[in-house]
Structure 1
């Protein structure tokens, strides 16, 4: 299991966060398709600065998933500023 942190800016932090709340069609459900779990975060002083802590069972599958049209459409719907996306992977001791 790999731990990843993705952070990025969005146009509307409230709109972005709503997409992650569980249930049918949520981003939780979407990432669950590849066995990933996610916890979401927002900067309290800059609510359009957002992040996701991901537990990913297969990094190669995650990377392939991130390159799909489904994910590109979700980022567009969530008003994510794609050029700001950064992903960090945990460095094991």
Structure 2
């Protein structure tokens, strides 16, 4: 395997995940996130038709399982969106 391919496989690029919660639960998620190292809410987008908000959460790849555990413990009715590579230009 080339050095470039090896580096690409071992790289720990930050990720972003959407998590949709009832609008009254967004503050609960914000308070729970410090328990997971390296995680932060990038944006909070109202979903007016559903009385919910979509939180875009940045996190390091190694924290994904812990982040999901904390989010589900905090808001069991939350909905996970897809996980994507972090792009600082996407809000």
Q: What's the offset of the Cα at 1:36? A: 1.1
More helix by share: 2
1:59 to 58, 61, 71: 61
Q: What's the offset of the Cα at 1:89? A: 0.9
Give the distance between the partners of 1:19 and 1:29, measured in 2 at CA.
10
Question: TM-score normalised to the size of structure 2?
Answer: 0.54
Kindly indicate whether the alpha-carbon contact (under 8 Å) linking 1:42 and 1:49 is maintained by their aligned counterparts in 2: yes
2:44 to 29, 36, 40: 40
Give the distance between the partners of 1:49 and 1:17, measured in 2 at CA.
4
1:4-23 aligned at under 5 Å gives the runs 4-8=16-20, 16-21=22-27
Question: TM-score normalised to the size of structure 1?
Answer: 0.54
More strand by share: 2
Larger Rg: 2
Per-residue deviation, residues 14-55 of structure 1 (Å, max 9, x unmatched):
xx223223xxxx3112112223111221223x1345311112
Task: Give the length in aligned residue pairs.
Answer: 73
**Residues 27 and 87 (structure 1), Cα distance of their counterparts in 2 relative to 1, 3 Å cut:** same
Unaligned ranges ≥5, structure 2: 1-12
For 2:84, the equivalent position in structure 1 comes to 89
Root-mean-square deviation (CA), in Å? 2.8
